[in-house]
Structure 1
């Protein structure tokens, strides 16, 4: 087997979705400018939504200095995956188990969920042009800037309080469903609570479009005239923002059933299969299983699939803290964000000029991106190294110990995703 360097630069790809931040305001555009992507020229009027780092067939990364894509290169050099990962995950054709991204959100993403593995396989078989792969897509979002999102169902008493105080919301739900939902407290079993929440959400998402537009117009008029009640004050600005971006869309009413969270850099949330969510604004690192499957139901001009979304949700109602991922210490200057799935873990490395951070060998492959400053990564006891600057992306093979060194004034910050 040919000897290859286990650490090398790769070229990510960009996705210019409509919801992305515009031009150099986008972290995606900033990092892409430093990534040496062939043919990339920043356009100040274009939206830059996502930077992809990985092997997904929709948009695989390239290997700098080679005409091969990353999956082609990994297929030719399987030793870079290590011995452990192919035993647990499908690594055929150089497939990594995870997909690493940067997202720059200028406008809210769709109300969405992601299928579990079994459902993903069924959806892919039935609608391969819509659900383009058979994989699940649990995901973690880690804030690079101030970040806002809708994630998971609110605790049931909160939803009940909105039903009581927001007549426009309540009028979209049949009275029998409203009565069933408000009547579940306090003695209902968990299955009964989930059943009532499912009935409420299904009724909301299948409300007739003319009625949605009529009630939303009333709600917006009331909010703009200062008529928000005390209960509504925490969602008023969100409702106005979402309606400005997606006028008359049913997704605006999801403000009353989904948790609204504000996060600062270093905070992270995890969303497993069947958890409804929508990212609203900000720049994030995102890591997920290697999939692009999205089931949408609102805040989007794209195809909606409300039946599959409603049928695939967990209907777990809990505070947003239920989704938070608390970092732990990986090494001296590295934090580990480790969600409750085997597909990926993300490390945050932060060193200053002259500081050195050592990472022991990891039993699986990694992808790392520099998001701040300049420095280097060294391996083979310092015999080999790569100089790195903001936007540079590197692949690190399994079983290689590395050191990150800061060079610039201020922080040298790297995010490293791996599977082990």
Structure 2
């Protein structure tokens, strides 16, 4: 079992206080957006087995079956299939979708064939993997997820009383769901930028005046004035999670996190297609290939089980569960059939002989016994084999 040293990513949308508060550290004044735990090449965790720190990705590459187990390697290949994060949104993230596995492989191979550098700003596919993800709230958490039914979006847009939004509302009413959502999102993202900036400004003023269901969208425009993603976001469901609740996001589902601290578990990928609320590259034609143009309410997940509380999700690359360790309770011996990362978010539990404080984590190779004891909250990330 190895204690992890993790990288904190300083993206501009990150909270300046949430991750330091979790870690019991003084804020630096700079945004701290994500703490990565795992073996993603972009920011692998580091471990020390007595010969100095090594990247977890290098340790796994040197002995995949020894670290991950034969079953994991046979099913997912010689790399850790998941990435665990603590995510701290102090401002809205970009409006985005992720590809499915076939789309990611095809897109990656195409960009490789065309010689686009992996770190190029206009590169869409960083790897050939899909990126389903789950976000579990540690504090009240707010976001956008999935399309509203077109008629509901039409009513929302009409309620703002902005004349330049009427054509979009008319389209939403005039066509079947798939065509309506596709036509309106395409129209919004390809509109003349000056005209759209005026529309966004008028919509934001109306949203601030009206409040209520419009309040989240008024907040967006403060961070991204003139961005067509503000109007695109009005096509999506707004959701709020209470601590311990989670959402699962599959391929093609448009979403954006707005505010809050959470534990995020995702397939080990960094493939993102953006639709707005960002200064980064937006590839509208490629985005439209990936988006699923279907409505649906965000499905809020609550953990199930006695002892180990599991967040059920239709994915095998990762499995998220939570332990609420009470004073005087018996220790919990964890299955050893797959690799796992354990993250403490509260209290002072122990992982076998290692004491954990909030924000600390450990990597447990497949085949190694792990036992949780003490008091506090521990999240467990592993795979389904």
TM exceeding 0.5 = yes
Q: Alignment partner of 1:320: what SS? A: coil
Q: Is the alpha carbon distance of 1:311 and 1:240 closer, same or farther for their aligned partners in structure 2, counting shifts above 3 Å?
A: same
Q: Alignment partner of 1:212: what SS? A: helix
Partner of 1:363: 337
Matched, 1:348 2:332: no
Q: Is the alpha carbon distance of 1:43 and 1:193 closer, same or farther for their aligned partners in structure 2, counting shifts above 3 Å?
A: closer
Partner of 1:147: 141
Note if contact 2:139-2:260 (Cα within 8 Å) is conserved in structure 1: yes
Matched, 1:238 2:238: no
Q: Alignment partner of 1:288: what SS? A: strand
Q: Alignment partner of 1:171: what SS? A: helix
| Distance (Å, rounded) in 1 between the aligned partners of 2:171 and 2:98 | 28
Partner of 1:47: 31
Matched, 1:73 2:59: yes
Note if contact 2:172-2:180 (Cα within 8 Å) is conserved in structure 1: yes
Note if contact 2:137-2:262 (Cα within 8 Å) is conserved in structure 1: yes
Matched, 1:120 2:76: no
TM superposition shift of 1:204: 1.5
| Distance (Å, rounded) in 2 between the aligned partners of 1:352 and 1:326 | 19
Matched, 1:217 2:191: no
| Distance (Å, rounded) in 1 between the aligned partners of 2:310 and 2:106 | 34
Deviation digits for residues 126-177 of structure 1, max 9, x if unmatched? 1433232121101000000000000010123311312433343x6257x4x6
Deviation digits for residues 262-282 of structure 1, max 9, x if unmatched? 111011001111110000000
Note if contact 1:356-1:403 (Cα within 8 Å) is conserved in structure 2: no
Note if contact 1:12-1:32 (Cα within 8 Å) is conserved in structure 2: no
Partner of 2:156: 162
Partner of 2:174: 183
* Range 127-136 or range 249-258, more displaced: 127-136
Matched, 1:390 2:364: no
| Distance (Å, rounded) in 1 between the aligned partners of 2:126 and 2:329 | 44
TM-score of the superposition, structure 1-length normalised?
Answer: 0.83
| Distance (Å, rounded) in 1 between the aligned partners of 2:94 and 2:44 | 24
| Distance (Å, rounded) in 1 between the aligned partners of 2:288 and 2:321 | 34
Which ranges in structure 2 are unaligned for 5 or more consecutive residues?
A: none
Matched, 1:90 2:58: no
Partner of 2:6: 12
Deviation digits for residues 24-62 of structure 1, max 9, x if unmatched? x222x345568xxxxxxx652111000000111111110
Q: Alignment partner of 1:280: what SS? A: strand
TM superposition shift of 1:210: 0.9
Matched, 1:59 2:43: yes
TM superposition shift of 1:178: 4.9
Which of 162, 175, 183 aligns to 1:199? It is 183
Superposed CA RMSD in Å reads 2.0
Size of the aligned set, in residue pairs, is 371
Partner of 2:378: 414
| Distance (Å, rounded) in 2 between the aligned partners of 1:311 and 1:293 | 14
| Distance (Å, rounded) in 2 between the aligned partners of 1:151 and 1:293 | 18
TM superposition shift of 1:325: 2.6
Q: Alignment partner of 1:389: what SS? A: coil
TM superposition shift of 1:223: 4.0
| Distance (Å, rounded) in 2 between the aligned partners of 1:43 and 1:309 | 36
Which ranges in structure 1 are unaligned for 5 or more consecutive residues?
A: 1-6, 35-41, 185-191, 379-384
Q: Is the alpha carbon distance of 1:63 and 1:116 closer, same or farther for their aligned partners in structure 2, counting shifts above 3 Å?
A: same
Q: Alignment partner of 1:137: what SS? A: coil
